[in-house]
Amino acid sequence: MSGTVITFYSYKGGVGRSFTLANTAVLLARWGYRVLAVDWDLEAPGLHLYFRPHLSGMPAGGVVDLAHEFVQKIEFPSSHTVRVDVEGGVLDLLAAGKVVDGRLDASYADRLQEIDWEDLYAAGFAEFLEERRAEWIAKYDFVLIDSRTGVSDVARICTAQLPDRLVVVFTANDQNLNEVVDIAHLADQARDRLPYDRPRHQVMPVLSRLDNRMEYERAEEWQQKCAGVVAPLFRNWMVKGVTSEQMLRHLTVPYISYWSFGELLPVVVERPPSPDQISFALETVAAVIAQQFDRTDLLADNRDAYVAAARSRRRKFDLDLLVSSPRKQWRTGTELITELRLLGIKADRSVSGDPEILDQAGDAAEHLCLVVAGELSRWQLTEAERFVRRTLGPDGAQRQMFCLLTRGTDRELLPGFLRNLRHLEFDPGVRPVRVARELHDLIKATPAPEAEPDQEALRDAETALRELPDQLPYPGRFVLVEDTVRGMAGALDDGDMDLLRDRSADLLLLGKPHRNGTGVAVPERLRTEVSALLARIERRITALTN
């Protein structure tokens, strides 16, 4: 799939366009996308200054050098890109020109003045740019171009020929607002005259540097005024039912005086950002780009889920399903996981609902199943709430949460956001074979295969071995357990599945704890035998499943 070219444009300078682009580029790269940032503001370049502390080396050339290589008819122009060190993905910079000691080379101004853009286009520069564009979108997911301001020839290259979409950055004053919509129309008219088949622009307006802390009332008035002016820019990409005022609020980058000094990257420092920080707004801008200007209804309803989807788009989950069960339903959870694994579902148990541990662990599974008996435990509620905030998964796929309820559980006692979910019922005393198959069908959208008799016996053995407690009522039972485990191993060696099933039932009975809760620790030697047999059975189950 080819990448997307997005030009960041502003009619006037000093509105934070380069700042917004640089931080957006870092976010997209950190989220796993391949990004190229291009400094095409040739009259006043400076994008390299934002990335200077993170550059693998100083740029040896840039956009101006590409133009000179075209004049010189160099068959294979250099890429002139340098790597920006960002965790997660790939971020490259194509600067305006050669940089020495953090500054543009002394010859840069003269080399720029030598370029006559009209002559270049007459000589076929448009086709040359198309070749460079094709190279970029083949190598990168997003190409972000920092455009010249105004309506110059250079600005037309960036707004008409090269981009698939535009991000127009403006501030709350009439100088910016009077031109923000017209410039998009001019760009469409200019690209209509080009010999390239590209659709009309989708334009995302970004209201920048709005001081809504000190001057709240005036900021509110101007934000409403701006929303009314830019409303036409949303028409060809925003979902109906979402208002321009709602969307512009999400696309407003606030003025924070601390970040107005120098060329800084707050998204590197503010992790994770809170709603009152500038990186919070920058994340939203980056997420709209990552989502290809799509699913704006979700952004209006749940900004955190929208951003989380963009952040995790390229992630692959380790598990299909995480099973969250309270202690009193530990056995049901274990049996459910065993059944799901036999059906080819990668499932495991959730071990903690502590918010800090959950945040550190990230999202291990694509889907979540809550096993509920009577009422939801407090840590299960924490886990469910966190999951809901991240319900949109990679590639736009919807992550699902299921509630597995004991028969008789009052659904009205569930929190409101769980009442409308798909509820499955189970009997605590019956192995959850049926609900495992239902979950399989819901997750995979295909009927589960029928289990073979051998699989039934193996899963019974796995459950019995897993449920052997750490303590037994008295030492004499160790001998019985050891004989039973060895009998199971012998049955497995002989391929006698009926005997294996019988011995597994015996082990379940022997493993029942004493009524008063006292007991003696199981010897390490016996635990080693149990672990070895369990590993053999799991390998056999895997072989049958595959």
Q: Record the tokens describing residue 190, joined without a space.
A: 């200019």
- Which residue's structure tokens are 């960002």? 86
- pLDDT, mean of residues 14-24: 95
**Is 80 exceeded by the pLDDT of residue 370?**
yes
Q: Residue 3: is its pLDDT beyond 60?
A: yes
Is it the case that residue 385 has pLDDT exceeding 50?
yes
- Residue 213: count other Cβ atoms within 10 Å of its Cβ: 12
What pLDDT does 451 receive?
53
Percent of the chain scoring above 70 in pLDDT:
90
> Looking at 74-78, 82-86, 187-191, 436-440, which range is the least confident one?
187-191
Mean pLDDT in residue range 351-372 = 67
With a cut of 90, say whether residue 41 has pLDDT above it: yes
Burial of 214 (0-12, 13-18, 19+ CB in 10 A): exposed
CA distance 422 to 42: 57
pLDDT of residue 393: 45
Rg (CA), the chain: 31
pLDDT for position 314: 54
Give the three-class secondary structure for 144: strand
Of 203, 198, 259, whose CA–CA distance to 231 is shortest? Answer: 203
The model's confidence at residue 466, banded by pLDDT at 50, 70 and 90, is confident
CA distance 122 to 127: 11
More confident residue, 16 or 407: 16
pLDDT value of residue 423: 86
Residue 544: the pLDDT is: 65
Closest CA to 287 of 358, 183, 204: 204
Given this model, what pLDDT does residue 152 score?
61
pLDDT for the residue numbered 507: 87
Q: Check pLDDT > 70 for residue 216.
A: yes
Average pLDDT, the chain: 85
State pLDDT tens for residues 222-258. Answer: 999 999 999 999 988 998 889 999 999 999 999 999 9
Among 197-201, 237-241, 351-355, top mean pLDDT goes to: 237-241
Return the pLDDT at 150. Answer: 66
Number of alpha carbons in the 13 Å side-chain half-sphere of residue 329: 30
d(CA 154, CA 494): 80
pLDDT number for residue 291: 92
Whether pLDDT at 394 is above 50:
no
